[in-house]
Amino acid sequence: MTNKRNIYLKKKSLKEARQIMFDAFLPGLDTGSETINTTVSAGRVLAKPVFAAMSSPGFNASAMDGIAVAAEKTYGASETSPKTLEVGKDAFFVNTGHVLPKDTNAVIMIEHVQEQDESSVIIEAPAFPWQYVRKMGEDIVATQLLFPSFHRITPSCVGALITAGIFTVEVIRKPRILVMPTGSELLDASCIGTEELPLGKVIESNSYVLSGMAEKSGAECVRHPIVADDFSGIGDEVKNAVSDEFDMVLIIGGSSAGSEDFARAIIDEAGETLIHGVTIMPGKPVIVGRVGDKPVFGMPGYPVSAIIAFEQFVRPLIYAALHINEPEDKNIIVAIPRKLPSRLGIEEFVRVKIGRVDDRFVANPLPRGAGSITSITEADGIIRIDAHSEGIAADETAPARLLTDKKSIQNTIMVVGSHDNSLDVLADLIRRKSGRFSLSSSHVGSMGGLAAVKKGLCHLAGTHLLDTKDGSYNVSYIRRYLSGTDVRLIHLAGRDQGLIIAKSNPKKIQGIEDLIRGDIRFINRQPGSGTRILFDFHLDQKGLSAPDINGYTDEEFTHMAVAVSVLSGNADAGMGIFAAAKALGLDFIPVARESYDLLIPERFIDSEPIRELLDVIRSAIFISRVSALGGYHMEETGKEVFSCYENPDKIKS
């Protein structure tokens, strides 16, 4: 086959695509059954009804420690007229679970029995028939229906089955799925050592992610070794798979429109492509095909696209094959702090961090790129934006599908504002301290943090805003933008800001004045960030202007993103903190020492999570670990540097 670009078939909406898939496969979707030992059946689905082989209990059993009696022989006993019973004739000592002796039908608890001597006991109250007795068949009666067909066996069901004398069960065979990663650029994780990856090579991970998701859904997966971009090679493996015992095949990669994206052509040659392209983001390139009577999927190569495509197409078929319902989404209503734009005609799955602030849940969006696997691992929920919408306006609410439990979200400390590497240390130590609270940070710049505090959308904000008039940090901005809001400013760290440059400084950059050279490309921070304000201040001090700098309008949102841009060669220099340069082995030219502080609304200061956060900040281990990052000055860490109250008389600094 010659290498040529694919052209997407007419893209379908998610609803249309799922219906096409179900119409094609549901009528004949049958993986058969198998018989397994009951002891290992938890999680499996019954292929046929199960009826009890034994009763439980299988005899009349004592439910208490005490004496077994015939109830009618105890009538008339009272405190004023106690009865004496002969042991071995009228009363029989029993323990819980013992068989009731013949001609007895009640048990009196040992606490209510007075032993007169070895041969007699005294009771002061009568028993009634079947008192403290588990009658034969009370729980299960032989031949009764225990569970119907397609019942999913739980651990407690295993106990019921064994109790009822069922030691093997016939269950639906797990769908067998072949997961086949493709791509000449891929390297297997098991073959990677400590050496640097060859340029252009990527460690393959999607097959492990999708295999894990499939097995969690109830399937059995086999991971195929990586197959290079070769039409015949991939095609032969797919044909072999559908002719063997596999029920589905996932071809990972090659579903898009590149010259070496073979998935659609392979499916067309061996069978039929039903869907190529769905109006969702991420996940648009997904392919659903049929080879023989079996589904073959072309899964996108970007990890988030692959995950969303799996959730929307592969997982529903696994559940259908097992005859169980898809789990119902757990949704909560969240506030949207800033606009979430979206393209008309595309249904978008936006990953968000969620925390509870006051009496509402607040969602901050994560990076939306399909290649950003951390946008799933860090997400607490997913907001779906309808294809007929251009997005969600700021301050509106929307439903979010939870990816974690609600309690975890309620115990999340929401930090919005400027990025700093010390927040990662803080998040780890807070989690380690009690295991109850967690820290979630959203990087929108210092001004964005102040705005979030004013709107009540976070518990605290990270800020390092330079007042260019007097050289102070943060206080003048709080007075200007948060008038009427009771807040406290806690110092986290002093830190060294400067130019992050390539190792050994190949461009011989000496300072900010060199950035106007035509051979140097700069990477900037976003407007509203403290770093951008600091950089612009130094440009002004040196009489330089933004248009003089190549790359001034190219922006990143974190110090580490700036450092990575320099490391990759996409930029020659960027403004950032020393810790980011040190972390990636880059060089650094100091420009300024600044104050990075945490702005906390007064109403949260005495809350348990914020008290715990402040305890961690003031701890020796936090100061030690942050100092080790390099470029930090921790002498004043944890001190309150400013507080502002609605009543002007209470303002202090």
Q: Is residue 448 part of a domain?
A: no
Q: Measure the CA–CA gap between 275 and 21, rounded to whole angstroms.
A: 8
- The pLDDT assigned to 645 comes to 59
Phi-psi region of 88 (alpha: psi -120 to 50; beta: other; left: phi over 0): left
SS3 helix, strand, coil % of the chain, rounded to 5? Answer: 30, 30, 40
**Do both 275 and 309 map to the same domain?**
yes
**Do both 569 and 512 map to the same domain?**
yes
**Predicted confidence (pLDDT) at residue 651 exceeds the cutoff of 70:** no
**Do both 367 and 298 map to the same domain?**
no
**Predicted confidence (pLDDT) at residue 648 exceeds the cutoff of 50:** no
Q: Measure the CA–CA gap between 646 and 633, rounded to whole angstroms.
A: 32
- The pLDDT assigned to 451 comes to 93
User: b or e along 420-432 (b: 16 or more beta carbons within 10 Å of the residue's beta carbon)?
Assistant: bbbbbbbbebbee
CA dihedral sign, ordered 509, 515, 521, 527: positive
Asked whether 507 and 519 are in contact (CB, 8 A), the reply is: yes
Asked whether 412 and 458 are in contact (CB, 8 A), the reply is: no
Q: Range of 260's domain?
A: 14-29+177-191+198-322
Q: What is the pLDDT of residues 303-317, one digit of tens each?
A: 999 999 999 999 999
Q: Angle at the Cα of 371 (from 215 to 378), degrees rounded to 5?
A: 70
Q: What is the mean pLDDT of residues 278-301?
A: 94
DSSP 639: -
Domain edge (last residue) among 322, 345, 372 = 322
Full-model pTM: 0.86
Mapping DSSP onto H, E and C, the string for 515-574 reads HHCCCCCEEEECCCCHHHHHHHHHHHHCCCCHHHCCCCCCEECCHHHHHHHHHHCCCCEE
Q: Is residue 95 part of a domain?
A: yes
Going edge to edge, which strands form the sheet with 220-223? 220-223, 176-181, 248-252, 294-299, 287-291, 272-276
**Do both 627 and 531 map to the same domain?**
yes
Helix (H) / strand (E) containing 478:
helix 475-481
Q: What is the DSSP string of 10-75?
A: PPB-HHHHHHHHHHHHGGG----EEEEEGGG-TT-BBSS-EE-SS-BSSS-EESSSEEEE-GGGGT
Q: What is the pLDDT of residues 537-571, one digit of tens each?
A: 999 999 999 999 999 999 999 999 999 999 999 99
Q: Is residue 181 part of a domain?
A: yes
- DSSP-assigned beta bridge partners for residue 188: 204
- The pLDDT assigned to 260 comes to 54
**Predicted confidence (pLDDT) at residue 649 exceeds the cutoff of 70:** no
Closest CA to 246 of 315, 319, 174: 174
- The pLDDT assigned to 193 comes to 72
List the CATH number of the domain containing 377. 2.40.340.10
Q: What is the mean pLDDT of residues 179-205?
A: 86
**Do both 612 and 481 map to the same domain?**
yes
Q: What is the mean pLDDT of residues 288-303?
A: 94
- The pLDDT assigned to 562 comes to 97
List the CATH number of the domain containing 538. 3.40.190.10
Instruction: Give the three-state DSSP class for 392.
Output: strand
**Hey, which bits of 403-486 come out as E strands?**
412-417, 438-443, 460-463
**Do both 579 and 551 map to the same domain?**
yes
Q: What is the mean pLDDT of residues 273-298?
A: 94
**Predicted confidence (pLDDT) at residue 584 exceeds the cutoff of 50:** yes
**Do both 300 and 348 map to the same domain?**
no
Q: Is residue 601 part of a domain?
A: yes
Q: Is residue 444 part of a domain?
A: no
**Predicted confidence (pLDDT) at residue 43 exceeds the cutoff of 80:** yes
Instruction: Give the three-state DSSP class for 292.
Output: coil
Structural domains counted in the chain: 4
List the CATH number of the domain containing 186. 3.40.980.10
Q: What is the mean pLDDT of residues 606-614?
A: 96
pLDDT band, very low/low/confident/very high, at 28 (cuts 50, 70, 90) = confident
**Predicted confidence (pLDDT) at residue 91 exceeds the cutoff of 80:** yes
Classify burial at 606, counting beta carbons within 10 Å of its beta carbon; exposed 0-12, middle 13-18, buried 19 or more. exposed
Instruction: Give the three-state DSSP class for 270.
Output: helix
Q: Is residue 575 part of a domain?
A: yes
DSSP 152: B
Q: Which of the pair, 204 or 4, is modelled with greater confidence?
A: 204
Q: Measure the CA–CA gap between 572 and 554, rounded to whole angstroms.
A: 12
Provide the total of helices (H) and of strands (E) in the chain, helices listed first.
Answer: 17, 38
**Do both 312 and 354 map to the same domain?**
no
**Do both 23 and 93 map to the same domain?**
no
**Do both 336 and 316 map to the same domain?**
no
Asked whether 265 and 1 are in contact (CB, 8 A), the reply is: yes
Q: What is the DSSP string of 300-356?
A: -SSHHHHHHHIIIIIHHHHHHHHT-PPPPP-EEEEE-SS-EE--TT-EEEEEEEEEE
Supply the mean pLDDT for the chain: 92
Q: Could you tell me the two tokens for 587? A: 């060089």
Closest CA to 568 of 512, 495, 500, 514: 500
- The pLDDT assigned to 2 comes to 45
- The pLDDT assigned to 230 comes to 86
CA dihedral sign, ordered 225, 227, 233, 237: positive
Q: Is residue 626 part of a domain?
A: yes
Instruction: Give the three-state DSSP class for 285.
Output: coil
Domain edge (last residue) among 271, 295, 322 = 322
Q: What is the mean pLDDT of residues 7-31?
A: 86
Asked whether 308 and 333 are in contact (CB, 8 A), the reply is: no
**Predicted confidence (pLDDT) at residue 188 exceeds the cutoff of 70:** yes
Asked whether 459 and 584 are in contact (CB, 8 A), the reply is: no
Beta strands 397-402 and 331-335 are antiparallel
Q: What is the pLDDT of residues 392-411, one digit of tens each?
A: 998 899 999 999 999 899 99
Domain edge (last residue) among 295, 322, 349 = 322
Phi-psi region of 253 (alpha: psi -120 to 50; beta: other; left: phi over 0): left
Q: Measure the CA–CA gap between 331 and 262, rounded to whole angstroms.
A: 38
Q: Is residue 422 part of a domain?
A: no
Q: Measure the CA–CA gap between 282 and 303, rounded to whole angstroms.
A: 9
**Hey, which bits of 205-311 come out as E strands?**
220-223, 248-252, 272-276, 280-281, 287-291, 294-299
**Do both 247 and 312 map to the same domain?**
yes
**Predicted confidence (pLDDT) at residue 653 exceeds the cutoff of 60:** no
- The pLDDT assigned to 262 comes to 84
Q: Other C-beta atoms within 10 Å of 498: how many?
A: 22
**Do both 272 and 349 map to the same domain?**
no
